[in-house]
Amino acid sequence: MAQKQLVKSTSGIRGIIGKGMNPSLAADYGAAFGTLLGRGKVVVGRDTRPSGAMILPAVKSGLVSVGIDVVDIGIVPTPTVEIAVKQLRAGGGICVTASHNPAEWNALKFFNDRGEFITPDQYRRLDKIFNSDITSHKPFNKLGKVTEQPGWVEKHVERTLKFRLVNRSAIRRRKFKVVVDAVNGAGSQALPLLLERLGVKVIRLNCDGDGRFTRGAEPVARNLGQLRRAVSKHRADLGFACDPDADRLALVDEKGKAIGEELTLTIAVQAVLSKKKGPTVINLSTSKVTEDVARQFGSKVYYSKVGESNVVEMMRKTHGVIGGEGNGGVIYPDFHAGRDALVAAVLVLSQLATSKKSLSEEVGTFPKYFNIKTKGQLKKNFSSRLKQFEKQARRHLGRHRVDRRDGLRFDFEQGWLQIRSSNTEPIYRLIVETTSKTLTAKLSRDVMGFFS
């Protein structure tokens, strides 16, 4: 019954504490994941939200009960779990975090032996085990063992500093001043530590790591008022904001303007492609700015369906050298194939230090698009309406190309739009992005009118 209130997808099992998410469910999922793996050890960690102190031990119990050894790395960013899985040659990992969801939520994110989100197929097998009685609880002398292994934040930072394509000396010379807003989440220690190692003067905002989300947890512009004010007050060069599990990074420029999460990826793409040739992979909801900038470097751009595992899969197929999602999630696969706010931060600083530009000047060199994201309640006839819309799309958009992999995405002369149903909520999302503010607003209105 409680399961009804859970949100399940390949990016995790999410629920509100006491209304779906609880320790017995977490223990059952731990046991099911251990059964799926069969052997080997599992790395576990969590973000700072207080309910994690209840959920994580339950996950560990479940794993141990099916004979799996557990390495508990404590409070860490999600990408730190991914790195530890790879480094320790573990069979998998579980991070207890509801990412950008508010404090009342918690969730389990599952990783395979590559330290990547489990694939849709692995997820189906996990859920099948969870829903059946085939979990193999072991007798007392065959249980797994738990080891605590602190220090992984430090290791994550050290390894991030070693990227060859990061211009460390230029970053040092630039003497950046940066305000970090970690929403008191898992990035509270990691992000300031990383920056200080690069000679950056760090001003800490919401970096107590106590799990009190003093702003909206998602690092979108409307939640960054405090950071914007702090950047202006301290005359900082920029502001960094991450979500509670530090896999997404948003930027505030030196004028105190939140430039939007989209451009974190654009700048990271510049930083990588200026040093390295190869394809770029982004999802179908990502701003065209990133494609335009990647093309300036002669990079071939591939689009994947929305969702980190889809981006990573496409990167593997196409040998992408940089990729990610427009929500501030940067993936640099030479290091590990997952979104990582620390990676995003060093790439942004390296780019600014190399170009010798301020953040607003750097952004000023990008093509200008106007973007509106809206959502509406999903109706039963949504898929037939999609078909009808496609038939008459020419009337709204003129000549266009259509991609049907994730809802519908239309590319037309002045821009693009995508309409798709959400993977996690009973809603549909519409994104319109064109070179004209008026056209973006008009299309957004017209298409919403069609679907409502």
Q: Which of 11, 99, 287, 299 is catalytic?
A: 99
Cβ-in-10-Å burial (0-12, 13-18, 19+) of 336 comes to buried
Based on the shown chain and the rule CB under 5 A, indicate whether residue 243 belongs to the binding site for Mg ion.
yes
At closest approach, how far in Å is the CB of 276 from Mg ion?
26
Cβ-in-10-Å burial (0-12, 13-18, 19+) of 381 comes to exposed
Shorter beta-carbon distance to Mg ion: residue 373 or 385: 373
Tokens coding 197: 């190692």
Residues 109, 186: Cα–Cα separation, whole Å: 15
Based on the shown chain and the rule CB under 5 A, indicate whether residue 406 belongs to the binding site for Mg ion.
no
Shorter beta-carbon distance to Mg ion: residue 99 or 188: 99
Based on the shown chain and the rule CB under 5 A, indicate whether residue 237 belongs to the binding site for Mg ion.
no
At closest approach, how far in Å is the CB of 330 from Mg ion?
12
Task: Show the site string, 323-362: x = touches Mg ion by CB under 5 A, - = not.
Answer: ----------------------------------------
At closest approach, how far in Å is the CB of 324 from Mg ion?
12
Based on the shown chain and the rule CB under 5 A, indicate whether residue 247 belongs to the binding site for Mg ion.
yes
Q: Which residues pair with 233 in a beta bridge?
A: none
- What is the dihedral sign for C-alpha 370, 328, 348, 272? negative
Nearest to 150 by CA among 84, 245, 51: 84
Shorter beta-carbon distance to Mg ion: residue 99 or 351: 99
Shorter beta-carbon distance to Mg ion: residue 247 or 313: 247
What are the angstrom distances between the C-alpha of 46 and each of 97, 107, 418?
6, 10, 34
- Judged by CB under 5 A, the chain residues 157 through 176 that form the site for Mg ion are none
Residues 59, 70: Cα–Cα separation, whole Å: 10
Tokens coding 136: 């193999």
Based on the shown chain and the rule CB under 5 A, indicate whether residue 99 belongs to the binding site for Mg ion.
yes
Binding residue for Mg ion, selected from 82, 245, 362, 433, defined by CB under 5 A = 245
Shorter beta-carbon distance to Mg ion: residue 99 or 290: 99
Tell me the Ramachandran region of residue 98: left when phi exceeds 0, alpha when psi lies from -120 to 50, beta otherwise.
Answer: alpha
At closest approach, how far in Å is the CB of 94 from Mg ion?
15
The residue range among 88-96, 99-107, 166-174, 438-446 that interacts with Mg ion, by the rule CB under 5 A, is 99-107
Q: How many CB atoms lie within 10 A of CB 111?
A: 26
Task: Show the site string, 291-330: x = touches Mg ion by CB under 5 A, - = not.
Answer: ----------------------------------------
Q: What contacts 128, CB < 8 A, 6 or more positions away?
A: none
At closest approach, how far in Å is the CB of 327 from Mg ion?
9
Residues 254, 185: Cα–Cα separation, whole Å: 24
| Residue reference for tokens 């829903």 | 131
At closest approach, how far in Å is the CB of 416 from Mg ion?
25
At closest approach, how far in Å is the CB of 247 from Mg ion?
4
Task: Report residue 124: phi and psi, to 5°.
Answer: -60, -40
Q: What contacts 384, CB < 8 A, 6 or more positions away?
A: none
Residue closest to Mg ion, measured at CB: 99
Does the active-site annotation cover 350? no
Shorter beta-carbon distance to Mg ion: residue 96 or 417: 96
Tokens coding 57: 């031990």
Shorter beta-carbon distance to Mg ion: residue 237 or 243: 243
Tokens coding 216: 């909206």
Give catalytic residues, as residue numbers: 99
The binding site for Mg ion (CB under 5 A) comprises: 99, 243, 245, 247
